[in-house]
Amino acid sequence: MHDARLMIAGGLVCAVGIYASFAIGHHAARATGRARTRWGLVSIIASGSTAWATHFIVLLSFKPGMPAAFEPALTAISLTCAIIGIGAGVSISIRARQRWQQFVAGLIVGIGVATLHYIGQAAYLVQGTVAWNLGLVVPSVILSLPISGLAMMAVGSRNRHIRLAAAPLLLLSIAVLHFCGMAAMTLDFDPAVKFPESAVSPLAITPVVAGVSLALIVLAVFGWRFDLAAKARLRQDRQRLRELADVALEGLLICQDDVIVTANDSIEFLSGHEPGSLSGLFASSLLPGLDVSGMPEREEREVNLISAEGKNVPVRVLRREVTLGHKIQTVIAVRDQRERLQTEAKMRLLAFTDSLTGLANRTRFFDLLALHTASRRERDRPCAVLMLDLDRFKAVNDTLGHTAGDIVLGMVADRLRSTLRGEDIIARLGGDEFAILQLATDENDAAFALATRIKEIIAARPFMLEGQAIHLGASVGIALAPDDGHDPAELMRNADLALYAAKASGRGTFRRYDISLDEQMRERRSIETGLRLALAEGQLELHYQPLADAKTGNITSAEALVRWNHPERGLVSPTDFIGIAEETGLIVPLGEWVIRTACAEAATWPETMSVAINLSPAQFRDRSLVSNIVEALQANHLAPERLELEVTEGVLLSDETGTLETLNQLRKLGVRVSMDDFGTGYSSLSYLRKFPFDKIKIDQSFVRQVPHDEESSAIVRAIITMAKCLGMSTTVEGVETTEQFDFSVAAGCDTIQGYLIGRPLDRTGLASLIATRGKAAHLPAAA
Ligand code: C2E
Ligand code: CA
Ligand code: CA
């Protein structure tokens, strides 16, 4: 019962009106301030008018088969309702953030349309009776409302494909309402029915509808122009952004939803894609595993970028939203992580390698050892930890400098590397200390064989540096797993103990750990702690051993020898604790005490007698040695000539320049300096040239064999002759027999020391010796 041409016109007006409303609505959304309100109102009126015009065109196309007319007041109300209802729905929809809010906005729009329809229907008068079928009216509303709800949800969607469905859905909702509504109406012609006076004929309302339709078409044109302008603006903004983006080092993707709109040069280069070929691709195909719109802003993520060749490139991405041409776009910044990851890997490697030699460092060695001992299978396989320490390396550092020392360490590392099998691991633990993890040692012999080989390759040939030959040796400590320890810390500790023992028992040897080393270590510790206490509690005392003049037999001096009066062990010999005191640095306070005590004691002796004090190499590293001596002399009014300092070769061996300076300073004071234990070292003569000693004390080991052993006798005689030539006096140490005494005197030495003259005595013992016998007790006929 409808006029088809008018129906089509109604559809067109509806479509044009919807387009105009949306286009003007978008324009309003892009605008600000009053323009926004103005265009918003226009959009609302346009949408209401669209619904109203569509409704009336369709109503006009309806041929009821009897005269019809419109009630103008109701007609006006229906238009108002349409504008209010639809306007309210649309304005809610603009602010709506959530989907359900969009849906509610759609429902309100639907209610507006339904009100318009049924009030409009009521304004439609026919010459007859109208009967309503509620069975169709109710479903028409119930069906059309959710459809318009869905339509508004589609409007708010970020996906443009879904957005395209909005207008057809709205159209469908209106159509459902209209056609069901019309079908629900049954008209019966009744000539008795009269139209009210106010009724307007359909012909009269036609120009109004046409006018509204025309206005909608004009608005649509406006909207279209706005749309075009906005699109041009967007293009321009994008172009500008792209130009900016191209100077960025980081890769930049500009996306609309998940689709890449623009990409800069950097990301094209990074991904290996042709220029311009990234546009139109899904961002997720380039960066799989990245939820472009779901990822929070300003939060960096590490993902892989798939390059054109299909390779994974590690990247870090950051998402930001920007408004381009009033449109929200996503910018994804992509930073190449390859270089950083490589640097990190390099740094990790550096952290575990010794930069000087390129060998593993202590941390890595420990980790590898831990790994090896931890795995069950490997635990059954024996392995050996060898620790080695270079002998005489300190001298290289001291005499040639640290740079030379570093070069030599590099050479040592090369030699060690060449002796190892591929499986074995070698590390530099620090200084001149190396460690080797020997794997698959079937029997202990393998570790010993390796230790021997190491000793040989270090000692066999000198290390050549700038034409200079440097002779080194190696001491090795061995711990075998699982016998000498299970965990890495235990194995390393025990290998270290063995190394310590190897060094103590003379350099250039190797030693395997055994349980007695633990005992020795405990002993050392107890001596160390005991010695600290001894110093604090005055358990130390000095004994004095007299020295006699070889010609007159008079006691000319006494050597101060320290004793430890231990509360449980009794008198402890210095040979048991001096070494430990030197290693732990306790020798410095101990030495100070000896200097003070010996000077104070010597001040009570006859003025013709001097006192001799032993000085350890470690004491020379103490800067206040000279001032301590000066203070002790002054405090006791002891003439410097009455003090003799005994030093061994060891003193000159280490840190020569500093030591020589100190010795010279002391000599300038008038203090005399003796070379002790002469003949036990290995290059004594060169040391004699370096410093003008006042006296040489010939070591006991020579005297023990005279006069029966020809060689020793010859050496003693030669040393005495040489000393005379150099203007130094001599003391023969350790004289126990008259035979030895006679020989020494005959050889021409100046003073004699030894049990024959007197054993070391405590201070009262020495005092009474001096008082009773100015001369030595057992002086032979010569005296
Ligand atoms: P030294 O300086 O060579 O001292 C001489 C050692 O030989 C002393 O042993 C002494 O008792 C011993 N002796 C002396 N005459 C004879 C003899 O006829 N026959 C034998 N068999 N031995 C003799 P002592 O007192 O046990 O001292 C050992 C070492 O301890 C000393 O050797 C010295 O190097 C060191 N020492 C002792 N007191 C001190 C000290 O106050 N400071 C430092 N730095 N070292 C000290
Ligand atoms: Ca001495
Ligand atoms: Ca000596």
Beta-sheet pairing, 751-753 with 729-732: parallel
- Establish whether 432 is a catalytic residue: yes
Residues 612-629 have a mean pLDDT of 93
Nearest CA to ligand 1 atom 38: 561
pLDDT of residue 384: 92
Kindly report the pTM of this predicted structure: 0.54
Tell whether ligand 1 has an atom less than 6 A from the beta carbon of residue 744.
no
Say whether pLDDT at 782 is over 70: no
Name which of 142, 231, 250, 135 is nearest 183 in CA terms.
135
Q: Which range among 31-35, 105-109, 675-679 shows the weakest confidence by mean pLDDT? A: 31-35
Residues, Cβ < 5 Å to ion ligand 2: 614, 646, 676
Q: pLDDT above 90 covers what percent of the chain?
A: 41
CA 674 / ligand 2 centre spacing (Å): 9
CA angle 744/745/747 to nearest 5° reads 65
pLDDT at 441: 65
Please compute the mean of the pLDDT values over residues 89-109 and round it to a whole number: 86
- Mean pLDDT of all residues in 270-283: 89
Of the residues 237, 391, 432, 676, which is catalytic? Answer: 432
For residue 436, the surrounding DSSP H or E stretch is strand 433-438
Query: Which pLDDT value is given to residue 426?
Result: 94
Ligand 1 contact via 760 beta carbon (within 6 Å): yes
At 231, list the tokens.
């699109």
Distance between CA atoms of 152 and 144, rounded to whole angstroms? 13
pLDDT digits (tens, 9 = 90+) for 690-719: 888 999 999 999 999 998 999 999 999 999
Q: Is 463 a residue whose pLDDT tops 90?
A: yes
Four-residue CA torsion sign, 395, 399, 400, 401: positive
Residues 6+ apart with CB under 8 A from 19: 167, 220, 223, 224
Which ligand ends up closest to the CA of 646? 2
**How many CB atoms neighbour CB 153 within 10 A?**
23
Q: Which atom of ligand 1 is nearest to the CA of 542?
A: 41
Return the pLDDT at 314: 92
Ranked by mean pLDDT, the top range of 513-522, 646-655, 741-750 is 741-750
The predicted model gives 33-56 an average pLDDT of: 86
**697 and 677 Cβ atoms separated by less than 8 Å:** yes
561 CB within 6 A, ligand 1: yes
Q: Over 60: is that where the pLDDT of 37 sits? A: yes
Helices (H), 538-586: 574-584
Q: Rounded distance, CA 347 to CA 171, Å?
A: 66
Q: What is the mean pLDDT of residues 389-401?
A: 85
What residues have CB less than 8 Å from 110, skipping those under 6 apart?
89, 144, 145, 146, 147, 148, 149, 173
pLDDT at residue 646, as a whole number? 96
- The strand pair at 510-512 and 473-481 is best described as parallel
Q: In angstroms, what is the span from residue 697 Cα to ligand 2's centroid? A: 8
Q: Which of 310, 328, 308 is nearest to 319 (CA)?
A: 328
Among 572, 614, 732, which residue has the most ligand 1 atoms within 8 Å of its CB, making it the best to mutate?
614
Q: Within 13 A of 549's CA, how many CA atoms are on the CB side?
A: 12
pLDDT value of residue 147: 93
704 token code pair: 């023990």
3-state helix, strand, coil split of the chain in percent (to 5) is 55, 20, 25
More confident residue, 680 or 479: 479
DSSP state of 158: S
Q: What is the 3-state secondary structure (H, E, C) of 265-331?
A: HHHHHHHCCCCCCCCCCEHHHHCCCCCCCCCCCCCCEEEEEECCCCCEEEEEEEEEEEEECCEEEEE
Averaged pLDDT for residues 396-424 = 89
From ligand 2's centre to the CA of 554, what distance in Å? 20
- Residue 613 above 60 pLDDT? yes
**549 Cβ neighbours under 8 A, 6+ residues apart:** 555, 556, 750, 751
pLDDT > 90? residue 641: yes
pLDDT score recorded for residue 776:
47
Nearest to 277 by CA among 253, 297, 295, 296: 253
Residues with Cβ within 8 Å of residue 679, at least 6 apart in sequence: 698, 699, 701, 702, 715, 719
d(CA 535, CA 557): 26
* CA R_g for the chain: 54
C-alpha to C-alpha distance for 691 and 122, rounded to whole angstroms: 132
Q: How far is the CA of 346 from the centre of ligand 3 (A)?
A: 56
Beta partners for residue 331, in sequence order: 254, 320
Question: Which domains are delineated in the chain?
Answer: 4-227 (no CATH), 248-341 (3.30.450.20), 353-514 (3.30.70.270), 544-772 (3.20.20.450)
Instruction: Identify the band that residue 371 occupies on the pLDDT scale cut at 50, 70 and 90.
Output: confident
Mean of pLDDT over the chain: 88
What is the per-residue DSSP string for 139-152? HHHHHHHHHHHHHH
**In angstroms, rounded to a whole number, what is the distance separating the alpha carbons of residues 612 and 14?**
124
**From the CB of 677, is ligand 1 less than 6 Å away?**
yes
Give the pLDDT confidence score for residue 397 in this predicted structure: 84
What's the mean pLDDT in 598-621? 94
Q: Are 407 and 463 in contact (CB under 8 A)?
A: no
E-strand stretches of 180-239: 185-189
Cα 524–Cα 526–Cα 530 angle in degrees, nearest 5: 120
Q: Is residue 612 exposed (0-12), middle (13-18) or buried (19+ Cβ within 10 Å)? A: buried
Residue 380 — very low, low, confident or very high, per pLDDT cuts 50/70/90? low
**CB 219, CB 27: distance < 8 Å:** no
Question: What confidence score (pLDDT) does residue 377 get?
Answer: 57
Lowest pLDDT segment from 50-59, 79-88, 194-203, 376-385 = 376-385
Q: Strands, E, within 37-143: which ranges?
A: 68-70, 124-126, 128-132
| Ligand 1 nearest atom to the CA of residue 562, by list position | 38
What is d(CA 71, CA 204) in angstroms, rounded to the nearest whole number?
12
